[in-house]
Structure 1
Amino acid sequence: MLTIAMPKGRIFEEAVGLMREADFQLPEEFNEGRKLIIEVPNEQLRFILAKPTDVATYVEHGVADLGIAGKDVLLEEDRVVYELVDLKISECYLAVAGLPNTEMSTVAPRIATKYPRIATNYFREQGEQVEIIPLNGSIELAPLIGLADRIVDIVSTGRTLVENGLVEYEKMIEVTSRLIVNPVSYRIHDERIEEIVDRLSAVIERKEM
């Protein structure tokens, strides 16, 4: 039985839909229950439902063979896992945003984000020295209360920025969810894992036609 770590929320719902389209027989309790571990004996699969930021950790440490994680999490966490396929679900992007018609401070502008690693690398590549302020929630507050000149955050529809009076200044990185695997699991269960990849890839290709 293979173990797959799945993130709760939007990615989970879209991933389950994708797996159903690939003819995985998943129980209805996937969408209704509150269990954190769900076994599907007929598919020889066990699912761990986790916070999106924890999925890659479970896969890296081998408690899950496979996982579904956003590219943003993979870039930020830098875990030792392999990316097998871009599932093309939960599409969004990382962006730099702030109050409209404002310039960043000329001396060590402050950037608030829950992606300190990504933000640091991005501004370094731009040749800009910035001070990164790590936050875990309500990132949009930072420019409004004078904590930061800009924020780096995930943008899906842009509605949250608009509702908080912020504008997007730079689009950074496109983000979709990826199927990832533990390197040791990939060697041990390569045939089974490739079968899963092939079934999911076939659905993705059909959608793109």
Structure 2
Amino acid sequence: MTTQLRVALPKDNLETVVPLLEKAGIPVPPHILNTRAYLLSSQAMEWIIVKQIDIPMLVERGAADLGITGKHILWEQPKDLVELLDLGTDRVDLFLFGESGMLSRPDLTIATKYPRITLRYFQDKGKHVRTIPAILDSLAASDAVVAEEQDYASSSGRTIVDTIAASTDRLIANRGSYCLKQRAIDDFCSCLLRAI
């Protein structure tokens, strides 16, 4: 790969992503897991280390050619991107917590960090719900909660009613970069495909 590529990596998931890149033979800086730097270089690559939630915006706006982020982030923040690969790493399951039989009740209020995903789930079931932000004060006032299992204590008395979404990491590309740097991006994808 001779064309310079800039890749945004999730700092909260480097321990999973970096070994995959290394297995694919993609050169990453040797100290990438132990640095506090946000911009690193290795051979014909630049690496931006940021929060996973910021990666779609950085890629869409052209600050990065490629990025790795969770599909749940892409569902929640629709952007004009090219989704290249499902990497199969960092699986996130979003659960609906509540009381059994709650789905038959009208006019539910759901506390969630994922309002788009939650609304789509209930629309697919033909139900109208109201979503509120999942902050501590709103949890008690809600009929149900959508969260990752590790984020929500089962001590609340609520049980898992359903799994509303399952997500894994995706390799995404900026549309302009994909046209201008297609060969380098295709080479990057080919390397990753051999490692998946």
Is the structural similarity TM-score above 0.5?
Answer: yes
| CA distance in structure 2 between the aligned counterparts of 1:94 and 1:166, rounded to whole angstroms | 15
Question: Are the equivalent residues in 2 in contact too, given 1:19–1:200 (CA < 8 A)?
Answer: yes
Question: Are the equivalent residues in 1 in contact too, given 2:26–2:188 (CA < 8 A)?
Answer: no
Q: Could you report, residue by residue, the CA deviation over 1:35-80 in whole angstroms, capped at 9, with x for unpaired residues? A: 111111x2x1111111111100000011110000100000010011
Aligned residue in 1 for 2:10 = 7
Question: Are the equivalent residues in 2 in contact too, given 1:105–1:149 (CA < 8 A)?
Answer: no
Aligned residue in 2 for 1:153 = 147
Aligned residue in 1 for 2:169 = 177
Question: Alignment partner of 1:32: what SS?
Answer: coil
Any unmatched runs of 5+ in structure 2?
A: none
Aligned residue in 1 for 2:61 = 61
Aligned residue in 2 for 1:83 = 83
Q: In structure 1, give the amino acid aligned to 2:70.
A: G
- Once the two structures are aligned, what percentage of the paired residues are identical? 31
Question: Are the equivalent residues in 2 in contact too, given 1:142–1:151 (CA < 8 A)?
Answer: no
- Within 5 Å, give how 1:104-183 maps onto structure 2: 106-135=105-134, 142-143=138-139, 146-155=140-149, 158=150, 160-183=152-175
Question: Are the equivalent residues in 2 in contact too, given 1:123–1:130 (CA < 8 A)?
Answer: yes
Q: How far is 1:102 from its partner?
A: 6.8
Aligned residue in 2 for 1:207 = none
Question: Alignment partner of 1:31: what SS?
Answer: coil
TM-score with structure 1 setting the length? 0.84
| CA distance in structure 2 between the aligned counterparts of 1:17 and 1:71, rounded to whole angstroms | 20
Any unmatched runs of 5+ in structure 1?
A: 205-209
Aligned residue in 1 for 2:191 = 199
Question: Are the equivalent residues in 1 in contact too, given 2:93–2:166 (CA < 8 A)?
Answer: yes
Question: Are the equivalent residues in 1 in contact too, given 2:10–2:69 (CA < 8 A)?
Answer: yes
Change (3 A) 1:154 1:191: same
Of the three residues 24, 27, 39, the one matched with 1:25 is: 27
Say how many residue pairs are matched. Answer: 193
Q: In structure 1, give the amino acid aligned to 2:142.
A: A
TM-score with structure 2 setting the length? 0.90
Change (3 A) 1:122 1:46: same
Question: Alignment partner of 1:29: what SS?
Answer: coil
Q: How far is 1:162 from its partner?
A: 2.9
Q: How far is 1:16 from its partner?
A: 0.6
Q: In structure 2, give the amino acid aligned to 1:5.
A: A
Q: How far is 1:134 from its partner?
A: 2.1
Question: Are the equivalent residues in 2 in contact too, given 1:95–1:168 (CA < 8 A)?
Answer: yes
